[in-house]
Amino acid sequence: MTTVRLAVPFLLAALMAVAAPSHAQAPAQARPALEKQDIRAQLTPRRYTTLGAEIGAKVSRIAVAEGAAFRAGQVLVAFDCSLQQAQLQKAKAVLGAAERTYGANQRLDELRSVGKVELDASAAEVGKAKADVAASSVLLSKCAIAAPFAGRVSEQQVREQQFVQAGQPLLEIIDDSVLELQFLVPSRWLAWVKPGHAFQVRIDETGKTYPARVQRIGARVDPVSQSIKLSATIDGRFPELIAGMSGRVALAPPPGQ
């Protein structure tokens, strides 16, 4: 009986010693998983868009091939708009006839030889014809698609002599004059990460390290992963860098953080 009573305190002490390390490790396990992994970033263009057709027509010319560069305002896609051109000419002819009729009715009105209803009707015909000319002119202006900004064609989705419908995607274009880095960091880093913070990033595809700087901080924290999105830009112009490349961010909290 004496042996059993002496063993009980030793067993309790041993159990407490085994349980103690798990409590000591709890804060480390509660830290965001991002702090235990490499922070990966991807290069993305600052501006990009998909150009689509605004009218149904046949593609007569694509001025810039996939991967080629273009300048702002340059015509990238031109359509065969013979029908739209003919409709504009017809609308102009109708307008001319309406204006002549209205002019004649105005002279007759001075001679008290035309009714007010007929004069107003001819004036309305002029207004209608002008609206038709304006509509045809707007439609004709959709026959050429100009670049909204300077950049490069990332993907060509149609070919010349192909008929396209209104709304159909034609070209995907990007502005690669400034490449941005997108990556996630632990939300607790907001205590020291601010816009303008400088760091380094090593790009896998080139095997080189480049200077970068934080530009923007995300608008919300992900409560599940306790992370937030950062946007940064590469400091300088490096022709070998293109959108889609990725790498490892060398960004670490200062001592004590």
Parallel/antiparallel/unpaired status of strands 227-234 and 169-186:
antiparallel
Q: Write the single-letter amino acid at 216.
A: R
**Is the backbone of residue 123 left (phi > 0), alpha (psi -120 to 50) or beta?**
alpha
Q: Report the pLDDT value the prediction gives residue 256, as an integer from 0 to 100.
A: 64
pTM of the model: 0.70
Cα radius of gyration (the chain): 35
Read off the pLDDT of residues 183-213 as tens digits, 9 standing for 90 and up. Answer: 999 999 999 999 999 999 999 999 999 999 9
Distance CA 222, CA 52 (A): 34
Report helix angle 116-141 to 82-110, nearest 10. Answer: 160
Residue indicated by tokens 């923007």? 216
Check: CB of residue 99 under 8 Å from CB of residue 122. no
What is the chain's pLDDT, residue by residue, as a tens digit (257 residues)?
444 444 444 434 443 444 444 444 444 444 445 455 589 999 999 899 999 999 999 999 999 999 999 999 999 999 999 999 999 999 999 999 999 999 999 998 888 888 889 989 999 999 999 999 999 999 999 999 999 999 999 999 999 999 999 999 999 999 988 889 999 999 999 999 999 999 999 999 999 999 999 999 999 999 999 999 999 999 888 989 999 999 999 987 777 66
Read off the pLDDT of residues 87-101 as tens digits, 9 standing for 90 and up. Answer: 999 999 999 999 999
Q: Report the pLDDT value the prediction gives residue 9, as an integer from 0 to 100.
A: 46
Q: Report the pLDDT value the prediction gives residue 28, as an integer from 0 to 100.
A: 44
Domains and CATH numbers, the chain: 31-47+175-250 (2.40.30.170), 82-142 (1.10.287.470)
